[in-house]
Protein backbone atom coordinates (compact mmCIF):
# COMPACT_ATOMS: atom_id res chain seq x y z
CA UNK A 1 0.00 0.00 0.00
CA UNK A 2 1.65 3.13 0.04
CA UNK A 3 -0.58 4.92 2.42
CA UNK A 4 -1.41 8.39 3.58
CA UNK A 5 -4.17 6.88 5.63
CA UNK A 6 -5.09 3.34 6.33
CA UNK A 7 -5.20 2.41 8.47
CA UNK A 8 -17.01 -16.06 11.47
CA UNK A 9 -20.15 -18.37 9.70
CA UNK A 10 -20.58 -21.89 10.91
CA UNK A 11 -22.03 -24.33 13.39
CA UNK A 12 -18.79 -25.57 14.93
CA UNK A 13 -18.92 -25.80 18.72
CA UNK A 14 -16.11 -23.78 20.27
CA UNK A 15 -14.18 -24.98 23.28
CA UNK A 16 -11.98 -22.60 25.17
CA UNK A 17 -9.28 -23.13 27.75
CA UNK A 18 -8.81 -20.31 30.24
CA UNK A 19 -5.28 -19.05 30.70
CA UNK A 20 -3.91 -16.13 32.65
CA UNK A 21 -5.60 -12.99 31.40
CA UNK A 22 -7.12 -14.45 28.22
CA UNK A 23 -9.11 -17.21 26.54
CA UNK A 24 -7.24 -19.52 24.19
CA UNK A 25 -9.29 -21.24 21.50
CA UNK A 26 -8.19 -24.83 20.94
CA UNK A 27 -10.98 -25.61 18.50
CA UNK A 28 -12.62 -23.35 15.96
CA UNK A 29 -13.44 -19.98 17.54
CA UNK A 30 -16.43 -19.64 15.19
CA UNK A 31 -19.84 -20.42 16.67
CA UNK A 32 -23.46 -19.72 15.83
CA UNK A 33 -23.30 -16.94 18.39
CA UNK A 34 -20.47 -15.19 16.54
CA UNK A 35 -21.76 -15.87 13.03
CA UNK A 36 -22.40 -12.87 10.80
CA UNK A 37 -24.48 -13.22 7.60
CA UNK A 38 -22.03 -10.99 5.74
CA UNK A 39 -19.18 -13.44 6.33
CA UNK A 40 -18.42 -16.62 4.41
CA UNK A 41 -15.99 -18.84 6.34
CA UNK A 42 -13.60 -21.35 4.77
CA UNK A 43 -11.98 -24.02 6.93
CA UNK A 44 -9.15 -26.53 6.93
CA UNK A 45 -7.22 -28.22 9.73
CA UNK A 46 -4.71 -25.37 9.68
CA UNK A 47 -6.65 -22.32 8.46
CA UNK A 48 -9.90 -20.43 8.85
CA UNK A 49 -10.60 -17.61 6.41
CA UNK A 50 -13.47 -15.13 6.63
CA UNK A 51 -14.50 -13.78 3.20
CA UNK A 52 -16.71 -10.73 2.59
CA UNK A 53 -18.29 -11.04 -0.89
CA UNK A 54 -20.25 -7.80 -0.50
CA UNK A 55 -17.21 -5.79 0.61
CA UNK A 56 -15.12 -6.09 -2.51
CA UNK A 57 -14.28 -9.77 -1.88
CA UNK A 58 -12.15 -8.61 1.04
CA UNK A 59 -11.08 -10.77 3.96
CA UNK A 60 -12.36 -10.14 7.48
CA UNK A 61 -9.86 -12.49 9.16
CA UNK A 62 -7.27 -15.17 8.56
CA UNK A 63 -6.69 -17.51 11.49
CA UNK A 64 -4.14 -20.31 11.77
CA UNK A 65 -3.85 -23.20 14.22
CA UNK A 66 -0.34 -23.44 15.58
CA UNK A 67 1.52 -26.53 16.81
CA UNK A 68 0.17 -26.11 20.34
CA UNK A 69 -3.39 -26.41 19.01
CA UNK A 70 -4.21 -22.74 19.56
CA UNK A 71 -6.04 -20.67 16.95
CA UNK A 72 -4.25 -17.38 16.35
CA UNK A 73 -4.83 -14.37 14.14
CA UNK A 74 -2.27 -14.25 11.34
CA UNK A 75 -4.12 -11.53 9.44
CA UNK A 76 -5.35 -8.42 11.24
CA UNK A 77 -8.94 -9.19 12.33
CA UNK A 78 -11.68 -6.79 11.29
CA UNK A 79 -14.00 -5.37 13.95
CA UNK A 80 -17.60 -6.32 13.26
CA UNK A 81 -18.54 -2.66 13.03
CA UNK A 82 -16.05 -2.19 10.16
CA UNK A 83 -16.95 -5.17 7.95
CA UNK A 84 -18.25 -2.81 5.27
CA UNK A 85 -14.97 -0.88 5.03
CA UNK A 86 -12.35 -2.74 2.95
CA UNK A 87 -9.48 -0.59 4.19
CA UNK A 88 -10.19 -1.75 7.75
CA UNK A 89 -10.33 -5.38 6.64
CA UNK A 90 -7.67 -8.06 6.97
CA UNK A 91 -6.96 -7.91 3.23
CA UNK A 92 -8.55 -6.63 0.05
CA UNK A 93 -7.96 -7.07 -3.70
CA UNK A 94 -6.86 -4.19 -5.91
CA UNK A 95 -8.15 -4.46 -9.50
CA UNK A 96 -7.60 -3.22 -12.26
CA UNK A 97 -4.56 -1.47 -10.81
CA UNK A 98 -2.58 -1.53 -7.60
CA UNK A 99 -2.03 1.51 -5.43
CA UNK A 100 -2.20 5.05 -6.81
CA UNK A 101 -2.77 7.01 -10.01
CA UNK A 102 -1.47 10.56 -9.64
CA UNK A 103 -4.30 13.08 -9.79
CA UNK A 104 -6.58 10.30 -11.04
CA UNK A 105 -5.24 10.91 -14.57
CA UNK A 106 -4.85 7.67 -16.52
CA UNK A 107 -2.73 8.13 -19.68
CA UNK A 108 -2.80 5.46 -22.38
CA UNK A 109 -2.16 5.30 -26.12
CA UNK A 110 -1.91 9.06 -26.43
CA UNK A 111 -5.11 9.86 -24.54
CA UNK A 112 -5.85 10.68 -20.92
CA UNK A 113 -8.86 9.66 -18.84
CA UNK A 114 -9.82 11.46 -15.64
CA UNK A 115 -10.79 9.02 -12.90
CA UNK A 116 -12.51 9.85 -9.64
CA UNK A 117 -9.90 10.99 -7.13
CA UNK A 118 -11.04 8.84 -4.22
CA UNK A 119 -7.83 9.03 -2.18
CA UNK A 120 -7.38 11.63 0.53
CA UNK A 121 -4.21 12.68 -1.29
CA UNK A 122 -6.07 13.46 -4.52
CA UNK A 123 -5.17 10.20 -6.24
CA UNK A 124 -7.26 7.37 -7.63
CA UNK A 125 -6.33 4.62 -5.22
CA UNK A 126 -6.35 0.83 -4.93
CA UNK A 127 -8.37 -0.06 -8.01
CA UNK A 128 -12.08 0.08 -8.71
CA UNK A 129 -13.59 -2.99 -7.03
CA UNK A 130 -13.17 -2.61 -3.26
CA UNK A 131 -16.71 -1.46 -2.57
CA UNK A 132 -18.48 -3.65 -5.13
CA UNK A 133 -20.44 -6.79 -4.29
CA UNK A 134 -18.87 -9.86 -5.87
CA UNK A 135 -20.87 -12.92 -6.94
CA UNK A 136 -20.05 -16.32 -5.47
CA UNK A 137 -19.80 -18.67 -8.45
CA UNK A 138 -18.45 -21.76 -6.68
CA UNK A 139 -17.92 -22.77 -3.08
CA UNK A 140 -16.67 -25.76 -1.09
CA UNK A 141 -15.81 -26.05 2.60
CA UNK A 142 -12.25 -24.91 1.93
CA UNK A 143 -12.46 -22.76 -1.22
CA UNK A 144 -14.56 -20.07 -2.85
CA UNK A 145 -14.49 -18.45 -6.27
CA UNK A 146 -16.00 -15.00 -6.79
CA UNK A 147 -16.60 -12.91 -9.89
CA UNK A 148 -17.19 -9.28 -10.71
CA UNK A 149 -18.38 -8.20 -14.18
CA UNK A 150 -18.25 -4.42 -14.44
CA UNK A 151 -20.60 -4.54 -17.44
CA UNK A 152 -23.35 -5.04 -14.85
CA UNK A 153 -22.38 -1.98 -12.81
CA UNK A 154 -22.81 1.78 -13.05
CA UNK A 155 -20.17 4.29 -12.02
CA UNK A 156 -17.12 2.03 -12.07
CA UNK A 157 -13.97 4.13 -11.67
CA UNK A 158 -12.30 2.78 -14.82
CA UNK A 159 -12.99 3.66 -18.48
CA UNK A 160 -13.13 0.08 -19.82
CA UNK A 161 -15.27 -2.94 -19.00
CA UNK A 162 -13.59 -5.94 -17.43
CA UNK A 163 -14.35 -9.20 -15.64
CA UNK A 164 -12.33 -10.22 -12.61
CA UNK A 165 -12.31 -13.56 -10.81
CA UNK A 166 -10.87 -14.24 -7.39
CA UNK A 167 -10.34 -17.63 -5.77
CA UNK A 168 -9.44 -18.22 -2.14
CA UNK A 169 -8.41 -21.83 -1.44
CA UNK A 170 -7.13 -23.51 1.72
CA UNK A 171 -4.76 -26.27 0.64
CA UNK A 172 -3.03 -28.10 3.47
CA UNK A 173 -0.88 -25.58 5.32
CA UNK A 174 -1.39 -22.92 2.66
CA UNK A 175 -3.79 -20.20 1.60
CA UNK A 176 -3.70 -19.83 -2.19
CA UNK A 177 -5.16 -16.66 -3.71
CA UNK A 178 -5.72 -16.59 -7.48
CA UNK A 179 -6.76 -13.44 -9.32
CA UNK A 180 -7.66 -12.90 -12.96
CA UNK A 181 -8.76 -9.96 -15.08
CA UNK A 182 -10.22 -10.18 -18.58
CA UNK A 183 -10.82 -7.38 -21.05
CA UNK A 184 -14.58 -7.38 -21.71
CA UNK A 185 -14.44 -4.23 -23.85
CA UNK A 186 -13.77 -3.56 -27.54
CA UNK A 187 -10.40 -1.81 -27.26
CA UNK A 188 -7.16 -2.57 -25.40
CA UNK A 189 -6.49 -1.14 -21.96
CA UNK A 190 -3.64 -1.06 -19.42
CA UNK A 191 -4.11 -2.97 -16.18
CA UNK A 192 -2.62 -4.48 -13.08
CA UNK A 193 -3.77 -6.03 -9.83
CA UNK A 194 -2.61 -6.80 -6.32
CA UNK A 195 -3.60 -7.75 -2.80
CA UNK A 196 -3.27 -5.93 0.49
CA UNK A 197 -2.91 -8.43 3.37
CA UNK A 198 -2.25 -6.98 6.82
CA UNK A 199 -0.23 -9.38 8.98
CA UNK A 200 0.01 -9.27 12.74
CA UNK A 201 3.27 -8.31 14.40
CA UNK A 202 2.62 -10.97 17.05
CA UNK A 203 0.56 -14.16 16.80
CA UNK A 204 -1.81 -13.65 19.71
CA UNK A 205 -4.63 -16.14 20.33
CA UNK A 206 -7.98 -15.34 18.76
CA UNK A 207 -10.07 -13.18 21.06
CA UNK A 208 -7.13 -11.38 22.66
CA UNK A 209 -8.60 -8.04 21.68
CA UNK A 210 -5.88 -7.01 19.26
CA UNK A 211 -6.84 -5.70 15.86
CA UNK A 212 -6.62 -2.29 14.24
CA UNK A 213 -4.63 -0.87 17.14
CA UNK A 214 -2.63 -3.85 18.32
CA UNK A 215 -1.67 -5.27 21.71
CA UNK A 216 0.98 -3.65 23.93
CA UNK A 217 3.29 -6.63 23.27
CA UNK A 218 2.92 -6.08 19.54
CA UNK A 219 3.81 -2.42 19.92
CA UNK A 220 6.79 -2.97 22.22
CA UNK A 221 8.43 -5.93 20.51
CA UNK A 222 10.60 -5.77 17.42
CA UNK A 223 8.17 -7.93 15.45
CA UNK A 224 8.90 -10.92 13.23
CA UNK A 225 12.05 -11.44 11.21
CA UNK A 226 11.64 -10.61 7.51
CA UNK A 227 13.62 -12.13 4.65
CA UNK A 228 12.73 -10.29 1.43
CA UNK A 229 14.80 -11.30 -1.63
CA UNK A 230 14.12 -8.13 -3.64
CA UNK A 231 17.12 -6.46 -5.22
CA UNK A 232 15.71 -3.17 -6.50
CA UNK A 233 13.42 -0.48 -5.17
CA UNK A 234 11.96 2.87 -6.17
CA UNK A 235 12.37 6.47 -5.30
CA UNK A 236 8.86 7.66 -4.45
CA UNK A 237 7.34 11.12 -4.69
CA UNK A 238 4.00 11.41 -2.89
CA UNK A 239 3.98 7.60 -2.60
CA UNK A 240 4.38 7.06 -6.36
CA UNK A 241 7.43 6.07 -8.37
CA UNK A 242 9.35 8.99 -9.87
CA UNK A 243 11.23 6.85 -12.40
CA UNK A 244 12.61 3.38 -13.02
CA UNK A 245 13.71 1.08 -10.22
CA UNK A 246 17.06 1.66 -8.57
CA UNK A 247 18.60 0.79 -5.22
CA UNK A 248 16.56 -0.71 -2.41
CA UNK A 249 15.93 1.95 0.27
CA UNK A 250 17.85 1.04 3.39
CA UNK A 251 14.75 1.07 5.60
CA UNK A 252 13.12 -1.57 3.37
CA UNK A 253 16.18 -3.73 2.73
CA UNK A 254 15.55 -7.17 4.23
CA UNK A 255 17.85 -9.15 1.94
CA UNK A 256 19.80 -10.00 5.08
CA UNK A 257 17.02 -11.24 7.39
CA UNK A 258 16.34 -9.09 10.43
CA UNK A 259 13.47 -8.02 12.66
CA UNK A 260 10.84 -5.69 11.28
CA UNK A 261 11.59 -3.13 13.98
CA UNK A 262 9.79 0.17 14.51
CA UNK A 263 10.86 2.37 11.62
CA UNK A 264 8.14 3.64 9.29
CA UNK A 265 8.30 1.70 6.02
CA UNK A 266 6.23 2.40 2.91
CA UNK A 267 8.16 1.20 -0.12
CA UNK A 268 7.86 -0.64 -3.42
CA UNK A 269 10.39 -3.35 -4.25
CA UNK A 270 11.05 -5.37 -7.39
CA UNK A 271 13.58 -7.78 -8.93
CA UNK A 272 12.45 -10.65 -6.71
CA UNK A 273 14.55 -13.81 -6.80
CA UNK A 274 12.65 -16.49 -8.78
CA UNK A 275 11.67 -19.49 -6.69
CA UNK A 276 12.65 -17.93 -3.37
CA UNK A 277 9.80 -16.92 -1.05
CA UNK A 278 9.42 -13.86 1.09
CA UNK A 279 9.79 -15.33 4.58
CA UNK A 280 8.26 -14.03 7.81
CA UNK A 281 9.48 -15.74 11.00
CA UNK A 282 7.76 -15.38 14.36
CA UNK A 283 9.42 -16.57 17.57
CA UNK A 284 6.55 -16.85 20.08
CA UNK A 285 5.20 -19.21 18.99
CA UNK A 286 7.74 -20.42 16.44
CA UNK A 287 5.92 -19.99 13.13
CA UNK A 288 7.21 -19.35 9.63
CA UNK A 289 5.07 -17.83 6.87
CA UNK A 290 6.38 -18.12 3.31
CA UNK A 291 4.87 -15.77 0.74
CA UNK A 292 5.24 -17.40 -2.68
CA UNK A 293 4.32 -15.40 -5.78
CA UNK A 294 3.80 -16.09 -9.48
CA UNK A 295 6.03 -14.11 -11.87
CA UNK A 296 3.19 -11.72 -12.75
CA UNK A 297 3.60 -10.32 -9.23
CA UNK A 298 6.78 -8.53 -10.17
CA UNK A 299 6.48 -5.96 -7.38
CA UNK A 300 6.06 -6.03 -3.62
CA UNK A 301 4.89 -3.26 -1.32
CA UNK A 302 6.16 -3.26 2.26
CA UNK A 303 4.22 -1.13 4.72
CA UNK A 304 4.91 -0.86 8.44
CA UNK A 305 3.24 2.02 10.29
CA UNK A 306 4.52 3.30 13.59
CA UNK A 307 2.84 2.15 16.79
CA UNK A 308 0.50 -0.34 15.19
CA UNK A 309 0.20 -4.06 15.78
CA UNK A 310 0.27 -4.96 12.09
CA UNK A 311 2.24 -4.52 8.88
CA UNK A 312 1.60 -5.31 5.22
CA UNK A 313 3.39 -7.45 2.64
CA UNK A 314 1.55 -6.80 -0.62
CA UNK A 315 2.06 -8.86 -3.79
CA UNK A 316 1.30 -6.53 -6.70
CA UNK A 317 1.88 -6.57 -10.44
CA UNK A 318 2.59 -2.88 -10.98
CA UNK A 319 4.54 -0.16 -9.24
CA UNK A 320 2.68 2.75 -7.68
CA UNK A 321 1.95 5.30 -10.40
CA UNK A 322 2.81 2.69 -13.00
CA UNK A 323 0.34 3.81 -15.68
CA UNK A 324 2.08 7.16 -16.19
CA UNK A 325 5.52 5.54 -16.29
CA UNK A 326 4.30 2.89 -18.74
CA UNK A 327 2.90 5.55 -21.06
CA UNK A 328 6.23 7.39 -20.86
CA UNK A 329 8.07 4.26 -21.99
CA UNK A 330 9.74 3.46 -18.67
CA UNK A 331 10.52 -0.29 -18.60
CA UNK A 332 9.69 -2.68 -15.77
CA UNK A 333 6.56 -0.99 -14.42
CA UNK A 334 4.60 -4.25 -14.22
CA UNK A 335 1.70 -2.68 -16.13
CA UNK A 336 0.31 -5.00 -18.82
CA UNK A 337 -1.99 -4.24 -21.75
CA UNK A 338 -4.97 -6.51 -22.41
CA UNK A 339 -6.47 -6.84 -25.87
CA UNK A 340 -10.24 -7.42 -26.10
CA UNK A 341 -10.97 -10.88 -24.71
CA UNK A 342 -7.45 -11.29 -23.30
CA UNK A 343 -6.98 -12.39 -19.69
CA UNK A 344 -4.14 -12.28 -17.18
CA UNK A 345 -4.02 -14.54 -14.10
CA UNK A 346 -1.71 -14.84 -11.11
CA UNK A 347 -1.53 -16.59 -7.75
CA UNK A 348 0.23 -16.02 -4.49
CA UNK A 349 0.45 -18.34 -1.50
CA UNK A 350 0.79 -17.91 2.25
CA UNK A 351 2.36 -21.17 3.49
CA UNK A 352 2.54 -21.72 7.25
CA UNK A 353 4.99 -23.92 9.15
CA UNK A 354 4.95 -24.37 12.93
Domain locations along the chain: 16-353
pLDDT for res 23: 44
Task: Give the CA dihedral 77, 80, 85, 90, nearest 10 degrees.
Answer: 10
pTM above 0.95, yes or no: no
d(CA 138, CA 167): 9
pLDDT for res 33: 39
Output phi, psi for 333, to 5 deg: -75, -20
d(CA 139, CA 145): 6
pLDDT for res 21: 36
pLDDT for res 221: 87
CATH of domain 16-353: 2.70.98.10
pLDDT for res 217: 58
pLDDT for res 327: 98
d(CA 189, CA 109): 9
Per the CB < 8 A criterion, the answer to whether 274 and 237 are in contact is no
pLDDT for res 208: 81
**Of 249, 258, 285, 255, residue with least CA distance to 65:** 285
Which residues have C-beta within 8 Å of that of residue 336, sequence separation ≥ 6? 190, 191, 192, 296, 317, 344
Helix, strand counts (H, E) of the chain: 2, 30
Q: What is the pLDDT along the chain (354 residues), one digit of tens a residue?
A: 544 444 333 333 233 323 333 344 556 665 443 579 999 999 999 999 999 999 999 999 999 999 999 999 999 999 999 999 999 999 999 999 999 999 999 999 999 999 999 999 999 999 999 999 999 999 999 999 999 999 999 999 999 999 999 999 999 999 999 999 999 999 999 999 999 999 999 999 998 866 666 656 566 689 999 999 999 999 999 999 999 999 999 999 999 999 999 999 999 999 999 999 999 999 989 999 999 999 999 999 999 999 999 999 999 999 999 999 999 999 999 999 999 999 999 999 999 999
Amino acid sequence: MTHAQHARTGSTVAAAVATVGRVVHTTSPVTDATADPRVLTLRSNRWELDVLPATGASLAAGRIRTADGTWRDLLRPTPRTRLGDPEKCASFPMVPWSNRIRGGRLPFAGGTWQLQRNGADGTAIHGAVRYAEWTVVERTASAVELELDTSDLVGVNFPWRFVSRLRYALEGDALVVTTSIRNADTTPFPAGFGHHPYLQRTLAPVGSGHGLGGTPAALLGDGPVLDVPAHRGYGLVDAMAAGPAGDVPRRADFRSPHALGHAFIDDVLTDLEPGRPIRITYDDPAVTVDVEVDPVYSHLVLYSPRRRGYFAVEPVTNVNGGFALHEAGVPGTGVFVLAPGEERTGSFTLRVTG
